[in-house]
Structure 1
Amino acid sequence: MKTTWLKTAIAIAAGALSTQALAAGFALNEQSISGMGTSFAGRSSAADDATTLFGNPAGMSRLKREEVSFGMAAIHAKTDIKHNSASYGSRLGRGSGTTSGSNDGDMVPTTAVPMGYYVKPLDDKWAIGVGIYVPFGLITDYEGGFQGRYFGDYSEVRVITVQPTVSYRFNEKLSIGFGPTINRIDGKLESAVPPLMGASDSRVKIEGDDTALGFNVGVLYEFTPHTRAGITYRSKVEYKLEGDTTISGDDPLIGVGAGPLSLDAYGKYDATLDLDTPESIDLSVTHELDEKWTLYAGAMFTRWSRLKSIVVENEGMGPAAAANFGTIAEEQDWHDTWSYAIGAAYKLNKQWTLRTGLAFDQSPTNNTHRSPRIPTGDRTAVSFGLAWNPTDDVTVDLAYSYLWEEDTKIRQNKSYANGAVQESYSSTYENSAHGFGAALSYRF
């Protein structure tokens, strides 16, 4: 019996392991609280503190003293789901009708994002440092009876990066920096599978992790003591996630209760997923207009078009199961994106500095393949920041960001058991998020 229902369910769950991380969900790119205050407009050229290790490693050469910086950002997201509908059609005894369920939204719990950096100038040319940050990470947890549960109802992904870094200053104008990145990814994805001959849903859960290497390299050029430009290249990272796929439930057709038609699919299987996260190029300019005002502008290109499809390999299945979903593929067809930002800082006095910024980010997803796991669209963000310097050794940074997205449409259809069962889900998402950040920097 040639079937596609479980094949599709696993592909959707496994595919989300990458796409949720890549899109960063509602994340606000929190690797720097000082940068957050200007919507990261000067990320590769500001070089104001130790967080430049991430923004542009060449900027470490501008720091005159040994410095450590620790911070935390909190993200509180809100989602309204409207214009929703879901239906099914079945030739296996269920007939057809409306798929029951709720659409509460607000499936992203408040999430904390930590970061820490250390930079030490060795002399007037060399500087070294190390950073620990979270480039991707989010939990999306829909309510148990979510109407779109067959297209994904739980996702948890974390990427933690450690970056040792070195920079060199050739002269008063030109600096370079380089840092390898050690990246740890882990995640868990769950989906419901509609009943075929049973009375209740089955479940598909995928868990996996991997550690992989990449690198960041940057160049900083100071045209004048008041104007500088930076460019940062962040490499792609090649992951091979290894874990397991667990299928559970009490449906006799999915399990072992329907004689020769049964797939005997319930159980735990070894799973692997190859994934390349794309490279990006970050450009920005910083101009100190006078003693009070500093202006920032930046743009970043990300090569999301690398993500054409997700391929999952499963092992340990019986012959019938392996023949249908030993190798699983799901099309993504993402496209390259640009993000843009402008910002400004105003120095009230020696102790206080105010910041603000505006950013626009394109979404790599498309209307054809967008699912409830990644219901994101193009977004706009406005940010405000405050820096307090009680002494020459200490800086406290605070930041707030608010982002909102264009209305995003979900239009999903799936077939199971060679078309014997069909499911559809349609809705419109209105997404927004608040970001709060605080950091402490100390110079020795």
Structure 2
Amino acid sequence: MRSSLLTRAVRLTSLALVVAAPASAFAGGFSLNEQSASAMGTANAGAAANPENATAVLFNPAGMSQLSGTNISFGAAVLDIDAEAKSDTIRSVDALGQPGAYTGNGGDIADPALLPNIYITHEINESIDVGFGIHAPYGLAADYEDDFAGRYLADKTELTVISFTPSIAVSNGKGLSMGVGINVMYGEGRLSRYQDVRGAVVRSALQSAGVSSLDQLPAAQQQAIVAGANGLAQQYPDTYSDVEGDDIAVNFRVGFLYELSEATQFGLTAQTGTEFELDGDLEISQFPGEALGLSGPLSLSEKAEVPLAIPESLTVGVRHRLSPEFTLLAGATYSRWSRFEELDVYSAEGGTGQVSQVIQPAPGDPVTHVTEKWDNNWQFNLGGIWQASEAWAFKAGYAYDQSPVDQYVTARIPSEDRHWLTLGTQWQDRQSGWKVDAAVGTLIFADNAKVDDREYSHQQPTVATSNTNYQAEYELSAWSAAIEFSKAF
């Protein structure tokens, strides 16, 4: 039996790696809630205190101590977010302060995503349990159409993270247990945008003239530079910047579970922060060589890296059985998203690469910089389970999720606070031991996301470095669905 189970787990693990896709998460940072259909049915309420199955590996490794024998849970969730700028709210300005030549709203920027998962636990003895999980804790995907008004600030934004999570739990046999898990995460990301060559032309002209702004030049010379910049922009409308990279990062989760009585128990989990260093390549295609006194178009490339902060988090949960039929669940999660202050692309060639030689960043500065300055945020959850019969249970949940994005709302991550409403059901076959959970959820955003995207200085992150600006209000909505199969052996 164990050999068969191991073979099945390996196959499911391979499937998870093949079909894992990036997802969009425009609130709660870029973390994903859709990790388990059994927990999703109650909007993840009290998940740290309610070890229903092997998903305890993720939600609270201490919960494995309340599972007997060997347990397996596997499934998948589909997440689809509609995010589209309202055309009548769009305002764009190019690098020279002129009205933007592109006026499109970018279309619906988020495609549906599939999020598979698998978790396994095994009871070593009465005091020790071990487990392993594969899931997608973080994800982000946005893709604008080519005529997007903010194309000089964002085009494609992608992040896919797959976590491999070995865990262990120890119980004192008196209602208290502790668990520890390690998240070994593989992440890959992509950032792309069109480049407004007007800025490069003006910078080159100012350097040649030995001045810092156009205002310091005679009016006739200013007009000539602007005319030249606009002419080159028309000649090279599709200059494109694209950076891709990947990395492995590790963080830790520790959990506690305390059974106060047969009816009530409490859970607490804490996760450490970490940082990816996404190593890869930065390429700029269709770059106008004329801006450098050469003939174009040119293709520039350079080894690059993108630091990406993953926050610490703390989750508390409580489960209380009102009766054999009714269970109440509640919880809260605090995440330190203030770690995510910037989204920068650094040269991995010490500033000697082709792109750095053109951009000429100051020593120690990134090649490109995006100010983020996210805030720490809370998520609050409330849910309930009705055991209608021996075979059937029904679930419902609500969560309020604060957006960590406040002042610097970018076109890459248009964000707002959201309300998460979920319904779920569980069918159990007592004879075979199989359980099937299904859940659906909808996201209701508190308001339209108000984007005001600019280019900022790395040295002074609140100071704009160019006239480039994109403003719009985004209509956001979403739904999700999940299924999960669980069995105890």
Q: What TM-score do you get using the length of structure 2 for normalisation?
A: 0.80
Separation in structure 1 between the aligned mates of residue 167 and residue 75 of structure 2, nearest angstrom: 19
* Matched AA of 2:416: G
Task: Determine which of 399, 424, 439 is the counterpart of 2:484.
Answer: 439
**Cα displacement (A) at 1:65:** 2.6
**Cα displacement (A) at 1:311:** 4.2
Is contact 2:92-2:149 (8 Å) kept? no
**Cα displacement (A) at 1:330:** 3.4
* Matched AA of 1:432: S
Q: Any residues of structure 2 matched to 1:259-298 within 5 Å, and which?
A: 259-260=292-293, 266-298=299-331
Separation in structure 2 between the aligned mates of residue 67 and residue 108 of structure 1, nearest angstrom: 35
What is aligned with 2:69?
A: 65
Is contact 2:41-2:440 (8 Å) kept? yes
1:164-221 C-alpha deviation (Å, 9 max, x unpaired): 1110111231000011110100011111112422311311101011001111110000
Q: Any residues of structure 2 matched to 1:313-332 within 5 Å, and which?
A: 313-314=346-347, 315=349, 316-318=352-354, 320-321=357-358, 323-324=360-361, 327-328=365-366, 329-332=369-372
Is contact 2:43-2:422 (8 Å) kept? yes
**Cα displacement (A) at 1:414:** 3.9
1:410 aligns with 2:451: yes
What is aligned with 2:233?
A: 198
* Larger CA deviation: 404-413 vs 34-43: 404-413
Gaps spanning 5+ residues in structure 1: where?
A: 1-19
What is aligned with 1:47?
A: 51
Task: Determine which of 26, 35, 40 is the counterpart of 2:39.
Answer: 35
1:154 aligns with 2:194: no
Task: Determine which of 412, 426, 438 is the counterpart of 1:373.
Answer: 412
1:234 aligns with 2:238: no
Q: Any residues of structure 2 matched to 1:98-109 within 5 Å, and which?
A: 98-109=100-111
What is aligned with 1:16?
A: none
Separation in structure 2 between the aligned mates of residue 126 and residue 177 of structure 1, nearest angstrom: 10
Task: Determine which of 110, 118, 121 is the counterpart of 1:119.
Answer: 121
1:88-136 C-alpha deviation (Å, 9 max, x unpaired): 3566xxx833432321542111100000000111122111110000001
**SS of residue matched to 1:224:** coil
Greater share of strand: 1
Q: Which has the larger radius of gyration?
A: 2
Gaps spanning 5+ residues in structure 2: where?
A: 1-23, 199-231, 458-463
What is aligned with 1:354?
A: 394
Corresponding residue pairs, total:
417
1:85 aligns with 2:90: yes
Identity %: 32
Is contact 2:28-2:377 (8 Å) kept? no
Greater share of helix: 2
**SS of residue matched to 1:120:** strand
**Cα displacement (A) at 1:370:** 1.1
Separation in structure 1 between the aligned mates of residue 306 and residue 31 of structure 2, nearest angstrom: 24
* Matched AA of 2:339: R
**SS of residue matched to 1:324:** coil
**SS of residue matched to 2:92:** strand
CA RMSD across the alignment: 2.6
The change in CA–CA distance for 1:257 and 1:71 in structure 2 (over 3 A counts) is same
1:382 aligns with 2:436: no
Separation in structure 2 between the aligned mates of residue 391 and residue 75 of structure 1, nearest angstrom: 31
* Matched AA of 2:372: Q
What is aligned with 1:214?
A: 251
Q: What TM-score do you get using the length of structure 1 for normalisation?
A: 0.87
What is aligned with 1:9?
A: none
Task: Determine which of 74, 78, 82 is the counterpart of 1:74.
Answer: 78
**Cα displacement (A) at 1:28:** 4.7
Separation in structure 1 between the aligned mates of residue 26 and residue 80 of structure 2, nearest angstrom: 19
1:413-435 C-alpha deviation (Å, 9 max, x unpaired): 3489xx99732211111211100
**Cα displacement (A) at 1:285:** 0.3
**SS of residue matched to 2:309:** strand
**Cα displacement (A) at 1:324:** 2.7
The change in CA–CA distance for 1:386 and 1:261 in structure 2 (over 3 A counts) is same
Task: Determine which of 183, 192, 195 is the counterpart of 1:181.
Answer: 183
What is aligned with 2:11?
A: none
**Cα displacement (A) at 1:308:** 2.3
1:62-97 C-alpha deviation (Å, 9 max, x unpaired): 012311111100011112421432333566xxx833
What is aligned with 2:10?
A: none
* Larger CA deviation: 329-338 vs 341-350: 329-338
**SS of residue matched to 1:96:** coil
